[in-house]
Amino acid sequence: MTSLTRIIESVRDAAREAKIKIVAGDTKVVGKGEADQIFINTAGVGVVERKTLSIQRLKPGHKIVLSGQIGNHSIHLLSVREGLGFEKRVKSDCAPLNGLIDAVLNAVPEGAIASIRDVTRGGLCAVLHEGARASQCSLSFCRDLIPVLPESVMAADMLGINLIHLANEGCLCLFVESEWVDKVLAVLREHTYGRNAALIGEVGERTGAEVIMIEPDGGRNQLEELYGAELPRLC
């Protein structure tokens, strides 16, 4: 009951912050030993009041912006599950981002932002490959411009995993018209969940769907999409 109370209070606080209402609920009964503590599923209902953004609208010249650090959520979960001790320094980025998105879209004219994607399953790599396939453009980004927490980098190196492939729960990837990128960055950085926002790359010419990672020494490596199961499995 202590855990249930803590979880429900957390759900309540998150709903209040996101300015949404929880209007229904249901419970299931299973046999002893058939569930590991608590499982929660959610479904959301809302209304789209703006012109729909689409990854299909990407074109050469769009800038690639991240709203925050990558990898923290997955590193935190791995650390908790395996008792690695990183969870004290690396906190999950799980956060309601509707307020951040609303602030950014209200600050620029319609069309200034082509697409906004949550950097969840498959991580940043999956989002960039999705954009490359949709636009048939070459997407490039600088590895040393990606916002990361040093402790997350250390943990990833120790575990032999790449932060670029790790899921996040409070990070957005935005594809922005070049003339509006400074404004978008300024608005993101004014928000609690966008303080570490950074410009990391751009959409190149329509030379085929590929993602290029530019190394600190200037070297250019083609980034392959991750195949198989990601770690940790989040859902």
Of 131, 109, 116, residue with least CA distance to 194: 116
How far, in Å, CA of 22 to CA of 64, rounded? 34
Strands in 63-66's sheet, in edge-to-edge order, are 113-118, 172-176, 63-66, 198-203, 138-142, 210-214, 220-222
Q: Would you kindly state where each structural domain of the chain is located, as residue ranges?
A: 55-222
pLDDT, one tens digit per residue, over 178-200 is 999 999 999 999 999 999 999 99
When the pLDDT of each residue in the chain is averaged and rounded to a whole number, the result is 89
Q: Which two tokens stand for residue 110?
A: 């319609």
DSSP state string for 107-149: HS-TTSEEEEEE--TTHHHHHHHHHHHHHT-EEEEEGGGS---
Pair 84, 78: CB distance under 8 Å: yes
Pair 173, 63: CB distance under 8 Å: no
How far, in Å, CA of 63 to CA of 203, rounded? 6
pLDDT, one tens digit per residue, over 104-153 is 999 999 999 999 999 988 899 999 999 999 999 999 999 999 999 999 99
Residue 26 binned pLDDT confidence (cut-offs 50, 70, 90): confident
Containing 63, the helix (H) or strand (E) segment is strand 63-66
Considering the entire predicted model, what is its pTM? Answer: 0.86
Of 216, 204, 189, 170, residue with least CA distance to 63: 204
Neighbouring C-beta atoms of residue 226, cutoff 10 Å: 16
Topology given in CATH for the domain delimited by 55-222: Phosphoribosyl-aminoimidazole Synthetase; Chain A, domain 2 (3.90.650)
Containing 201, the helix (H) or strand (E) segment is strand 198-203
**DSSP structural state of residue 89:** T
Residue 37 binned pLDDT confidence (cut-offs 50, 70, 90): confident
Q: Which of 2-11, 36-45, 53-62 has the lowest mean pLDDT?
A: 36-45
